[in-house]
Every structure is written in C-alpha cells, then in structure tokens.
Chain A
Amino acid sequence: MNEAALLQNYLVVGGLLFGIGLLGFIVRRNLIVMFLCAEMMLQGVSVSAIAFGRYHDDWGGQMLVLFIIAVAAAEAAIALALILMLYHKSGTLDMAFWQDLREEGQPAFIDHGVPEERAEDRVWPTLTPAGVEPAVDQEEQLHRSKV
C-alpha cells in the first residue's frame, strides 16, 4: 500500500471532518448540537493524528487519540451537566437566550423570518399495531381475580 497516499487521504478526510464541525459550531444555535460539532472537530483531529502516527511508524499518534477520547468523555460529562443547568435557568437550549450577557448599549439580536414548522415534521412516528387481540375467555373472568 502506498503509505504517502494513505497519509494524504486521511489528512483530507480529517480536515473535512474538522471543517464541517467548525461550520456547525458557528452556524447552529442549539447548545447540544454545538457541543456535538465540537466533538466532531475532535474526531477530525484524531483521524489526522492516527494517520501521522502510522506514517512515521510511531505510537505517539495513537497515544494522543487515546487521551483525546478520555478527555472528550470528561468534557462531555461536564458540558452536558452545564447545559442542563443552563436549561433549568432559561427553559430553552437556544444560544441566543444568553445574549443578555452582551455589553451594555449593544443592540439585541432579534430573529427575523423564522420558517414555520412543516406539516410532515409535526407527525411523530407511531408503532404499527401487530399481533391479534386475544379472545377473552368469559369463564376465566369469573374465577380469576383482576390484577
């Protein structure tokens, strides 16, 4: 296998993952989705680190990724606890709620033209009814105590 080409391919994929995560972090407003995008950026870094480790035949890349995973787990615990707290305080996951923290005299950010929820999005999935309703045995009803 062509090791140099392998490294280049992996760097491109890692860069794409990082870029998509960065874009989502800037553009999305849901606190949880923003945090998820940060995790995606970490994934991009991990892909690059492992590719470099293989190219140089060194364990350093894999060690770094191992510690990234551990730190990401710790970060997820703390950040999600913080997000829950923010939700208890504000009642929304919207990042724009916290614009109250802006500097004095700055104009407020107001949403314009929020698109309506589509009708097909309002439908929630339902379970298809399956099986046959069992026939009620009248005689059994007489002597069996209702649970």
Chain B
Amino acid sequence: MSESLLDTAARPVTAARAGGLLRRHWAWLAALAIALALPWLLFDWTRARHSGFGVAMLSQMGMMIIFALSYNMQMGHAGLLSFGHAVFFGLGGYCTAHLLNTIKAGGFWLPVELVPLVGGLGGLAFAIVFGYVATKQRATAFAMITLGIGELVTSCALMFKSFFGGESGVSTNRVVGTSLFGLNYGPSIQVYYLIIAWTVIALALMRLLTETPLGRMANACRDNFERAQFVGYDPRMVRFFQFALSGFFAGIAGGLYALTYEIVTFDTVAGGMSANALLMTYIGGVGTFAGPVVGAILIVLLQSWVSLLSNSWLVYVGVLFILMVTFAPGGIAGLVLMHQPISRRGRMGRLAVPYARLVGPSLFVVVGFVLLIELCSFLTIGASQGKTFTLAGATIHPKSAVPWAIGALLLGGGGLWLWREGRRARSAWDAVMEEIKAAAARP
C-alpha cells in the first residue's frame, strides 16, 4: 500500500492537517475537476447542445468506476476472485427500476438523488444471501461457487417474468418529479452530475473502508489466512462482511445504471458483465486503490470508442490482458507506482532518456500489430461488410501483399528494436535502483 494510506493513522484533524489533506489528495481533486469540465469540452457549439454520445460514455465510466472499485474490494483487498459479481450490479439495478416505477405510480416517496442508495441496499441484501453460501470457501472453490451462482441467476432472469421482466427487462422512467434540488433529470447531463456525486461518495466510503479494521483484516486474510486466524479473527466472517459490502457498492452502480438507461435487462447479471469487472480491475491494477478507476476508464473507452472503429476490439482487449498478466501483474497503476521510490528521490530524470527511446519501437510494434490484425479481419469479415480499410484517407487493399509486408516489417523489426531498447531501459532501471539502495544504506 502507498505511504499516503499509512499516513492517515490516528492523528488529530487540525487546520494545517486539513490543508495537508488537500495537498495530498490533489490528484483526486484534479480528476474531479476534469470530470466536471469534460462535457463542456465536448459541447456541440454549432447546435448548442451536449454531445449525447460523450455524456453517455462519461456516465458509463462513472458507473463502471464504482463497479470496478467494488470488485476490487473482493479481489484486491480480500483476495477473493469472483466470477459472478455482476449479479449484485444487475439485481441492484432491477430493485432500483422497480422502485422508480413505484415512485412514479405514487406508492412511495423518495428523492431521485437517493434512489441509487436503494439499489445499494438491494445489492447488499442479495450479497448477504449469496455471500453466506459463497464465503464458506475461499480461493478456487469460492470462484467456482460464484460462477455457478452467476449462471443460475442469469438463467432465472430469463425465466421469471414477475421480477425480472423476462427478455425485455424492466423499464422505468427517471422523470418522476421527486428531487431535493428541483431537477427533473430529463437531460442526461443532470444524470451525469448525479453520477459524479455518487462516484465521489462511493469512492470516499470505499477508501475509508480500507482503513477500518475490517479492511485491514481483509488484507491480512488475503495474505495469510492461517495467521489471521491466530490473531483471533475468523477469516470466514471477514470474507463475508467484505463480500456483503462490496455487493452494496455494486448495487449502487446498478442503481445508477437504471437511472441512466431507464431499462434493466438480463445482461446486467450475465457472465459478460462479470468478466468486464475482472478485466477493468486487473488491467487497471489490483494492488492499488486507484487502479480499478484507471482500468474502468480504459475499458469503457476501448469498448465504446474503439469498437466503433474496429470489429477486432476484442482481440486488442485480450492481448492487452495477456500482456498485463504476463509482464505487469500489478496492472497499469502498478507499473506507474513502481516508479514511486525513484520519483521520490528525484531520479526520474535518469529514466527519461531510456523511456523516450522506447516510444519509437513501441509505436512500430503497436502499429504493425494493429495493421496485421485489421488486415486479417478485413480479409474474412470486414471486407464483406462493405467497408473499405481506410487509413488517413488512403484505401488499403487487404488482398495485395504490400500492406502485409509493411505490417510484418513493423511488427518484426519494431519487435527486435524494442527488445534491444527494453534491455537498455532495464539496465538503466537496475542502475538507478542500485544507486538508491546504496544511498539508503549510507548512514
């Protein structure tokens, strides 16, 4: 865990400390400011309206951030690999949709701002029920139980119409007229700001949770559950509470989903959504708190934006995932945090040149790889879809040998070059680390 987490042990809150708080968490605040401002960057000034697609994608990111962070509560903090986390996301969504319909019909009053809370409570309830069963085991057995539960719930969602609405799901309307701030939540930008508010709240709560005894014991059980038992805690109960709370936050994300899309269907509980959570968390980085946030943003970008440009986006996700698992199991955030000791001692400059030299060959490798994959894809699938492969205005014909040769050259040549530069960067890294160790060893 990073130093900043350890810093927040019991020290009285003073004005100076409050200022320190601001300075320490400036990165989060900056991210918040960017999030608030982004829709205006994408504003369509010619038609005087927000970019519907942009706001929708940003809303999706907000939801997925909460979802990925809740998944990390299990995977990163408690060491529980789950294949059925989407169950709580979806069930929270269904509860919220039913609640909104009840509010609209006049049976209940609750301001729209608090509606995701009910989604969270729904997720919590189901997480308690399923978690009681699942957390009896750990590691692979736990993973398999969650897989089984996920499959069962998905099938039930298709079969039972009264709660799940069958195939067409449960639809709802978020314009129900109950609001603490007098907003009607018709325009999607208002929903976006609500999502931001809930993301901040959920994020803060989950962060606080990591510093509670429960959070710490979850880490302990992850690292060595036998020793945790000797300390006196029952790992099973620790797992259970952590699982239930993670279901709560997943349910909040589900509630926000119901508000944004105004329809909840069975795919919100299905295996694909659970796989999404896994991908986002792992690619972003399991060992850090910020990792899943990065992962969520990246995966939503890949899924919503790259998929518009290419049908092979799944290959890119798969390859990225495999590269992460093999070479960077700490994820993107892990990669960045590896540099923490170096940056703290002000020696980042030493790595600047080796890293800069990596950019060129990496670009070649990426472009070559993408080119080859796209050529393959166009040869069999894409070409018949009537699309022509255009890059910067020039049409590329998959049947001619030239683009293949270029792609192979880029990939092969770039790969070799990357290998050499990688070795050089590696030795630079090792040198810097040696220096740091030597400096630390000196009195």
**Real binding pair:** no
Which B residues are within 8 Å of any A CB, using their own CB?
A: none
Which A residues are within 8 Å of any B CB, using their own CB?
A: none
